Amino acid sequence: MEFFVLPSLGDRAIQQALLAALIAAGSFAAGQLAAKLLGPAILRRWRRGDAQEEARLAPPLCAIIRSAVALVLLIAASALRLDELAAQLLLAAATGLAAGLLARRIARGAGLAAGVAWLIGLCAFVGAMAGVLRGLEPLLEGLSAASLPVGSRRISLLGVLNGIVVVALLFAGTRLAIRLIGRSIEQARSLDHYQRVLIQKLVAVTLVVVAALMGIDLLGIDLTALAVFSGAFGLAVGFGLQKTFGNLLSGLILLMDRSVKPGDVIVVGDTFGWVNKIGVRAVSVITRDGKEHLIPNELLMTERVENWSYSSRDVRIRIPLGVGYDSDLDLAEKLMIQAATESARVLAAPPPNVWLRAFGERWVEYDILVWIQDPEQGVGNVQSDILGRIWRLFRENGITIPPPRRDVHIKSLPESWTDRRPDAGPSA
């Protein structure tokens, strides 16, 4: 079959490849036009008067018509018997694409899961390509012949596709294995929550490393050729990613020794809140203001950390208070204990206590000691509630709280100030 030779398009292979590309594009364009014209007409006859049902069925029906029309046109175009390999591959790829999309859409319409539908579409894609090329051998030969020289090696399209398939299978297999093993660990009742989290992270890291090594072996990558690169990469990791790996190891250590675990109430520097989760890089701490602080794991290993719920969730709060010297101190102590006992979050055991701390310059200094078991709910609201109750009880029982006062004693005045007194006579 002779073709019109374009002077600037080169040899016969390029001409046939362009023809195959035009046929493929025209087939899909015709399918799009047919779907636009036939889809609404079919739905109007099939679902008369049901606008919602027509709107729901329109996209899948148009997709089926588009792929089906394109597939029929491409199968008819295969009768041209293009003899150049590039043209055959383009036409076969377009036919396989149309067949795969049609099979996937039909599978989804039958109610199959998305993963199963994609698998069916992939099988249809490979089968259609093999059918157009009359077997898999021409397809493999064509993919292997399409290569690009890189240094002393040649990278073929078949090798690239093989690498993509290997990486995709390893990625999917690793994710599936991590999910299945994670579910098995979650069902292990002999382990607590934090031990299960630690084991899941270790298993995930191990599976990723194993998958990477398997991928290198299956792809046939020569590690000796990467010796210089790996050395430079290791040096970069040692300097540039030192903090990253330090935070990773610190997070694993925190999960192992359980010194800080999710749900604990901690104080790190000026940050007070409860631990939401321990990640690979940082610990999430939520404050009473609703702000989430991401504190690096390494900081919790090297800095001083107050853990209010490390061995027990019971926390004692100290509330200072001053009482006037002219008040009944015994009654004041009873009222302070009564106010602390009536507060909702204060524990009955250990009971609230009042300590006389010192006889101050203006008042008698007391410390009210109460215990709570939910520090993540805050301590300032407990102190505010108790002080409010004390204020009302003191007013009802005549107990005074002296206001702050400062006395200033002047030993002498300047003579100029004395001369300006109102009773001073006129100056000579």
Residues 16 and 101 in one domain: yes
Residue-wise pLDDT tens digits, 138-148: 555 655 665 56
Strand partners, 369: 318, 353
**Of the candidates 129, 145, 161, which is a domain's last residue?**
145
Six token digits for residue 7: 């002077």
pLDDT at position 6: 41
* CATH (domain of 256): 2.30.30.60
Whole-angstrom distance, CA of residue 355 vs CA of residue 254: 38
pLDDT at position 121: 77
pLDDT at position 337: 92
Q: State how many domains the chain has.
A: 3
Walking along the chain (428 residues) 10 residues at a time, the average pLDDT comes out as 42 74 84 79 63 67 81 78 71 81 79 75 74 60 59 63 71 81 77 70 82 76 62 65 73 74 81 80 82 83 79 84 89 92 88 90 89 82 90 90 75 62 52
Nearest Cα neighbor of 193 from 253, 129, 261, 145 is: 261
Residues 344 and 277 in one domain: no
Residues 131 and 43 in one domain: yes
Provide the terminal-to-terminal Cα distance of the chain, rounded to the nearest Å: 137
- Residue 25 located in a structural domain: yes
| C-alpha dihedral sign at 294, 296, 302, 307 | positive
Residues 6+ apart with CB under 8 A from 364: 322, 323, 324, 325, 329, 356, 358
Six token digits for residue 361: 């310059």
- Residue 393 located in a structural domain: yes
Residue-wise pLDDT tens digits, 82-91: 666 677 777 7
- Residue 340 located in a structural domain: yes
- Residue 98 located in a structural domain: yes
Residues 276 and 350 in one domain: no
* Cβ pair 295, 278 in contact under 8 A: no
Domain interval for residue 278:
244-307
* CATH (domain of 322): 3.30.70.100
Element containing residue 30 per DSSP (H, E):
helix 12-46
Whole-angstrom distance, CA of residue 260 vs CA of residue 267: 11
Residues 6+ apart with CB under 8 A from 145: 85, 156
pLDDT at position 428: 42
Residues 130 and 255 in one domain: no
* Cβ pair 319, 390 in contact under 8 A: no
- Residue 427 located in a structural domain: no
CA dihedral 334, 335, 336, 341 (to 10 degrees): 90
Burial group, residue 151, by CB count within 10 angstroms (0-12, 13-18, 19+): exposed
